[in-house]
Structure 1
Amino acid sequence: MSGRVDSIADVLKTFFAECHGLLEQMEDGLLRLRSAPADFDAINEVFRAAHTIKGSAGLFALDHVVTFTHHVEGVLDRARDGRLALDMEGVGLLLNCRDHVERLLDAAVAETTPDADVQEENQHLVRCLSALLDEDERSPPNKGGAAPGEDASTVSDDDAWHISVRFGTDLFRKGMSPTPLLRCLARMGELVHVITVADALPVTPDMDPESCYLGLEIRLRSAASKASIEDVFEFVRDDCLLQILPPGSRVADYMRLIDELPEDDARIGEMLLACGAITQGELEEILAIQADQRRSAGITQPIGELVVQQHAAPAEVVRAALLKQRETRLRHNDAARLIRVQSGKLDGLIDRVGALVIASAGIGQMAAQSGENGLLEAVAGMARLVEDIRDDAMRLRMVEIGETFSRFRRVVRDLSAQLGKDIELEIEGADTELDKNLVENIADPLTHLVRNAIDHGIESAERREAAGKPVRGVIRLAARHEAGSVIIEVSDDGGGLDREGILAKARQRGMLADGAQPADADVWKLIFLPGFSTAKQVSNLSGRGVGMDVVKESIEAMRGNIEIDSVRGQGTTFRVRLPLTLAIIDGFLMGVAGSHYVTPLDTVIECVELEAQDDGRGYLNLRGEVLPLLRLREHFGLESGLGRRQSVVVVANLGFKLGLVVDQLEGELQAVIKPLGRLFSRLVGISGTTILGSGEIALVLDIPSLLASITHGGRDAIPPKPMQPNQAL
Structure 2
Amino acid sequence: MNMDDALQTFVVESRELLGLMENGLLSMRESADPSDEINAVFRAAHTIKGSSGLFGIDGIVAFTHVVESVLDRVRDNEIGVDESLISLLLACGDHIGLLVELTAETGNCTDEALLAQAQPLVDALGRYLEAPQHAMPTGSDAATDDRAAPTAAPSMQRWLISLQCGEPVLRNGMDPLSIILYLARLGEVTRVSANSNRVPSLDALDPEACFLGFEIELLSDAGRQAIEGAFEFIRDDCELKIRTDSDETAAPPIQSAAEAADDADPIAEPHSPEQGATVAAAAPARTSGTTRENKSADSRSIRIDADKLDHLIDLVGELITASASTELAARKTQNTELRESAATLNGLIQRVRDSALQLRMVKIGATFNRFRRVVHDVAQELGKRIDLVVEGEDTELDKTVVEKIGDPLTHLVRNSMDHGIEPADIRRARGKPEQGTVTLNAFHDSGSIVIEVSDDGGGLDRTRILAKAVERGLVPQDATLSDDEVYALIFEPGFSTAERVTNLSGRGVGMDVVKRNITALRGSIGIQSRAGIGTTISVRLPLTLAIIDGFQVCVGDSIFILPLDAVEECVEFSASGMHDYTDLRGQVLPFIRLRERFELDGPVSARPNIVVVKHAGQRFGLLVDRLLGEAQTVIKPLSKVFGKVRGVSGSTILGSGEVALILDIADLMAMAGPTGSNSGSAALAIC
Q: TM-score, normalised by structure 1?
A: 0.80
User: What per-residue deviation string (whole Å, max 9, x for no partner) do you get for residues 45-73 of structure 1?
Assistant: 21121111111111111122112212222
Counterpart contact for 2:464–2:497, Cα < 8 Å? yes
The one of 670, 686, 696 aligned to 2:658:
696
Counterpart contact for 2:22–2:90, Cα < 8 Å? yes
Amino acid at match of 1:656: Q
**Equivalent in the alignment of 2:185:** 187
Counterpart contact for 1:561–1:576, Cα < 8 Å? yes
Displacement of 1:416 after TM fit? 1.7
Displacement of 1:329 after TM fit? 12
**Equivalent in the alignment of 1:650:** 612
The one of 365, 388, 410 aligned to 1:402:
365
Range 54-63 or range 451-460, more displaced:
451-460
Counterpart contact for 1:682–1:719, Cα < 8 Å? no
Secondary structure at the aligned position of 1:674 is classed as coil
1:589 matched to 2:555: no
**Equivalent in the alignment of 1:242:** 238
* Residue correspondence of structure 1 range 451-462 to structure 2 within 5 A: 451-462=414-425
**Equivalent in the alignment of 1:69:** 64
Counterpart contact for 1:55–1:228, Cα < 8 Å? no
Equivalent-residue separation in structure 1 for 2:614 and 2:201 (angstroms)? 68
**Equivalent in the alignment of 1:122:** 118
Change (3 A) 1:583 1:18: same
Amino acid at match of 1:58: G
Change (3 A) 1:349 1:202: farther
Displacement of 1:581 after TM fit? 0.7
Equivalent-residue separation in structure 1 for 2:151 and 2:37 (angstroms)? 24
Secondary structure at the aligned position of 1:392 is classed as helix
* Residue correspondence of structure 1 range 600-639 to structure 2 within 5 A: 600-611=563-574, 614-639=576-601
Amino acid at match of 1:118: L
Counterpart contact for 1:219–1:275, Cα < 8 Å? no
Amino acid at match of 1:707: M
Q: Which structure is higher in RCO with an 8 Å CA cutoff and minimum separation 6?
A: 2
* Residue correspondence of structure 1 range 59-208 to structure 2 within 5 A: 59-111=54-106, 114-133=110-129, 154-156=156-158, 159-167=160-168, 170-171=171-172, 177-188=175-186, 190=189, 192-195=192-195, 199=199, 203=203
Counterpart contact for 1:185–1:232, Cα < 8 Å? no
Structure 1 runs not aligned, ≥5 long = 259-267, 277-327, 721-729
Equivalent-residue separation in structure 1 for 2:156 and 2:388 (angstroms)? 49
**Equivalent in the alignment of 1:504:** 467
Equivalent-residue separation in structure 1 for 2:413 and 2:260 (angstroms)? 66
Change (3 A) 1:716 1:95: farther
Counterpart contact for 2:242–2:250, Cα < 8 Å? no
**Equivalent in the alignment of 1:40:** 35
Equivalent-residue separation in structure 1 for 2:512 and 2:146 (angstroms)? 59
User: What per-residue deviation string (whole Å, max 9, x for no partner) do you get for residues 401-432 of structure 1?
Assistant: 22222222222222221222111121111222
1:674 matched to 2:636: yes
1:341 matched to 2:304: yes
Secondary structure at the aligned position of 1:650 is classed as strand
Equivalent-residue separation in structure 2 for 1:477 and 1:196 (angstroms)? 59
Equivalent-residue separation in structure 1 for 2:341 and 2:229 (angstroms)? 52
Counterpart contact for 1:226–1:244, Cα < 8 Å? no
Displacement of 1:230 after TM fit? 5.9
Counterpart contact for 2:161–2:241, Cα < 8 Å? no
Secondary structure at the aligned position of 1:131 is classed as helix
Counterpart contact for 2:164–2:240, Cα < 8 Å? yes
The one of 387, 390, 410 aligned to 1:447:
410
Amino acid at match of 1:155: Q
Displacement of 1:167 after TM fit? 3.0
Counterpart contact for 1:672–1:691, Cα < 8 Å? yes
Q: Percent identity?
A: 44
Change (3 A) 1:624 1:596: same
**Equivalent in the alignment of 1:534:** 497
Counterpart contact for 1:145–1:152, Cα < 8 Å? no
Range 32-41 or range 397-406, more displaced:
32-41
Counterpart contact for 2:183–2:227, Cα < 8 Å? no
Range 396-405 or range 334-343, more displaced:
334-343
Equivalent-residue separation in structure 2 for 1:86 and 1:384 (angstroms)? 58
**Equivalent in the alignment of 1:282:** none
**Equivalent in the alignment of 2:351:** 388
Structure 2 runs not aligned, ≥5 long = 137-141, 267-290
**Equivalent in the alignment of 2:270:** none
User: What per-residue deviation string (whole Å, max 9, x for no partner) do you get for residues 586-615 of structure 1?
Assistant: 11111111111111111111222223x644
| Larger Cα-atom Rg | 1
Displacement of 1:563 after TM fit? 0.6
Secondary structure at the aligned position of 1:35 is classed as coil
Counterpart contact for 1:226–1:246, Cα < 8 Å? no
1:274 matched to 2:226: no
Change (3 A) 1:106 1:713: closer
Change (3 A) 1:201 1:350: farther
Range 691-700 or range 362-371, more displaced:
362-371
Displacement of 1:179 after TM fit? 3.9
**Equivalent in the alignment of 1:216:** 212
Equivalent-residue separation in structure 2 for 1:147 and 1:403 (angstroms)? 40
**Equivalent in the alignment of 2:53:** 58
Counterpart contact for 2:194–2:264, Cα < 8 Å? no
Aligned-pair RMSD on alpha carbons? Answer: 3.4
